[in-house]
């Protein structure tokens, strides 16, 4: 069968979490403290969507995106980033964040280029980059409180002749780090000096527990070299609707727009309309804000549980995102540890190795699910550490 596999496909490596996910599903009876979007879309989104059919029944778009959503995004960026954006020149409406990044990598990378990742980071980037056959370099953040500082000099020294982009997850999945304005400014300067792009995945820009979020778009002096992607999957629990948007420098937006035309990867019109409604509606935004408070309570619950477990487990308090990145001291690979948890305690968490080399000897607990599931899952983790670790 290898006959059929392209070199691009052969460059992929195991997706550790998905692999264990399959194992847990097969075993059955597991609690999943992985994944990130279990909350259903608010009923009011559907209601408003249905009502909108009455007044506007011709919202069909091709790849340019619907006027309504573009207007709302423009308003949002004006309000949050003091950015008066020409949406037709800088914005793409995308099929979620994932598809956009995949296309951006295909545009920027090939077997002669390198992608610089700041790690630990979201594991899906890895196979997407590998598929282009580019190499991956990693710069690890420093694992210390508060907020995982980044050694900018290390980043500077890791830029090679063939580096095409610096990939950033801000706020960071899985550590909950929120990059400071200074760090982003420095990274943007490095990108400018080397004529490369600073790409920021800002999927969790709204889920901040402490401090303030700064977007790469908030810093005018680096905008010429930044790409920012956002999604409606998280803030509005619209994971299955597959809609997001990206800001890009004008030239690149134009070229990626042409890629979108060939690949037909604009979000479905109905999803765009639902996203427009979500950005517009004070009621929906207020609900999303309440969810942030609820998630913060879950974070506090989870960290208390880890404190109680002891056994040398440690973490840096996440300032954002529904993830806790836990370090352990035992000499066992994170993949093996997580598999053992499934097998002996019927609970699945993500092995840190999926988040980059610096993620080894960690596991990631997701606390996006409801309290009942989280409480049961943490109970099983406690059981595992008391009886099998």
280-339: contacts with ligand PLP (CB under 6 A): none
CB 170 → ligand PLP: shortest distance, Å? 9
As to burial, measured by CB atoms within 10 angstroms (0-12 exposed, 13-18 middle, 19+ buried), residue 251 is exposed
DSSP 264-326: T-SPPHHHHHHHHHHHH-HHHHHHHHHHHHHHHHHHHHHHHHHHHH-TT-B----SBSSEEEE
Q: Which stretch binds ligand PLP (CB under 6 A): 66-74, 95-103, 288-296, 305-313?
A: 95-103
Q: Which stretch binds ligand PLP (CB under 6 A): 64-72, 96-104, 105-113, 306-314?
A: 96-104
CB 150 → ligand PLP: shortest distance, Å? 17
Choose, by CB under 6 A, the member of 33, 108, 239, 326 that binds ligand PLP: 239
Choose, by CB under 6 A, the member of 16, 21, 105, 122 that binds ligand PLP: 122
In order of 18, 331, 338, the CA distances from 141 in angstroms are: 25, 22, 23
Asked whether position 92 contacts ligand PLP by CB under 6 A, the answer is no
Asked whether position 97 contacts ligand PLP by CB under 6 A, the answer is yes
195-234: contacts with ligand PLP (CB under 6 A): 201, 203, 231, 233
CA distance 271 to 265: 13
Nearer residue to ligand PLP within complex by CB, 225 or 231: 231
CA distance 349 to 359: 14
Asked whether position 349 contacts ligand PLP by CB under 6 A, the answer is no
As to burial, measured by CB atoms within 10 angstroms (0-12 exposed, 13-18 middle, 19+ buried), residue 86 is exposed
Number of alpha carbons in the 13 Å side-chain half-sphere of residue 323: 28
Nearer residue to ligand PLP within complex by CB, 173 or 334: 173
Asked whether position 36 contacts ligand PLP by CB under 6 A, the answer is yes
Asked whether position 176 contacts ligand PLP by CB under 6 A, the answer is no
> DSSP assignment, residue 208?
B
Choose, by CB under 6 A, the member of 163, 170, 173, 214 that binds ligand PLP: 173
Using CB under 6 A as the binding criterion, the count of chain residues that bind ligand PLP stands at: 13
Residues in the chain: 389
Q: Which stretch binds ligand PLP (CB under 6 A): 9-17, 91-99, 109-117, 261-269?
A: 91-99
Which tokens sit at 326? Answer: 């836990």
In contact, 60 and 266? CB cutoff 8 Å? no
Per DSSP, the three-state class of 348 is strand
List of residues contacting ligand PLP (CB under 6 A):
36, 96-98, 122, 169, 173, 201, 203, 231, 233, 239, 244
């Amino acid at each position: 069968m290898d006959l059929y596999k392209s070199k691009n496909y052969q460059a992929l490596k195991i997706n550790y979490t998905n692999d264990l996910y399959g194992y847990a599903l097969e075993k059955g009876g597991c609690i999943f403290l992985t994944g990130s979007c279990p909350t259903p879309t608010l009923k009011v989104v559907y209601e408003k969507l249905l009502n909108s059919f009455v007044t506007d029944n011709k919202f069909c778009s091709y790849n340019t995106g619907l006027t309504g959503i573009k207007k709302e995004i423009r308003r949002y960026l004006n309000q949050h980033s003091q950015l008066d954006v020409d949406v037709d020149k800088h914005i793409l409406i995308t099929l979620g964040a994932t598809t956009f990044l995949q296309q951006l990598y295909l545009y920027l990378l090939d077997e002669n280029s390198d992608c610089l990742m700041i790690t630990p980071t979201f594991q899906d980037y890895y196979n997407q980059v590998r598929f282009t056959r580019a190499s991956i370099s990693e710069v690890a953040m420093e694992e210390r409180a508060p907020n995982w500082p980044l050694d900018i000099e290390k980043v500077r020294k890791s830029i090679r002749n063939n580096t095409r982009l610096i990939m950033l997850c801000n706020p960071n999945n899985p550590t909950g780090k929120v990059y400071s304005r200074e760090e982003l400014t420095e990274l943007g300067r490095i990108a400018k000096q080397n004529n490369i792009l600073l790409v920021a995945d800002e999927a969790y820009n709204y889920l901040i527990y402490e401090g303030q979020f700064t977007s790469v778009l908030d810093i005018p002096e680096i905008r010429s070299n930044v790409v920012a992607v956002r999604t409606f999957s998280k803030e509005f629990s619209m994971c299955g609707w597959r809609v997001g948007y990206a800001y890009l420098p004008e030239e690149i937006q134009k070229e990626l727009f042409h890629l979108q035309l060939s690949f037909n990867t604009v979000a479905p019109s109905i999803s765009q309309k639902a996203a427009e409604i979500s950005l517009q509606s004070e009621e929906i935004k207020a609900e999303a804000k309440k969810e942030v408070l609820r998630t913060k309570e879950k974070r506090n619950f989870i960290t208390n549980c880890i404190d109680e477990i002891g056994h040398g487990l440690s973490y840096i308090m996440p300032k954002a995102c529904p993830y806790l990145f836990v370090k352990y001291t035992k000499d066992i690979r994170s993949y093996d540890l997580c598999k053992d948890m499934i097998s002996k305690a019927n609970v699945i968490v993500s092995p840190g190795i999926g988040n980059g080399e610096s993620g080894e000897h960690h596991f990631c607990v997701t606390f996006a699910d409801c309290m009942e599931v989280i409480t049961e899952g943490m109970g099983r983790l406690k059981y595992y550490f008391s009886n099998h670790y």
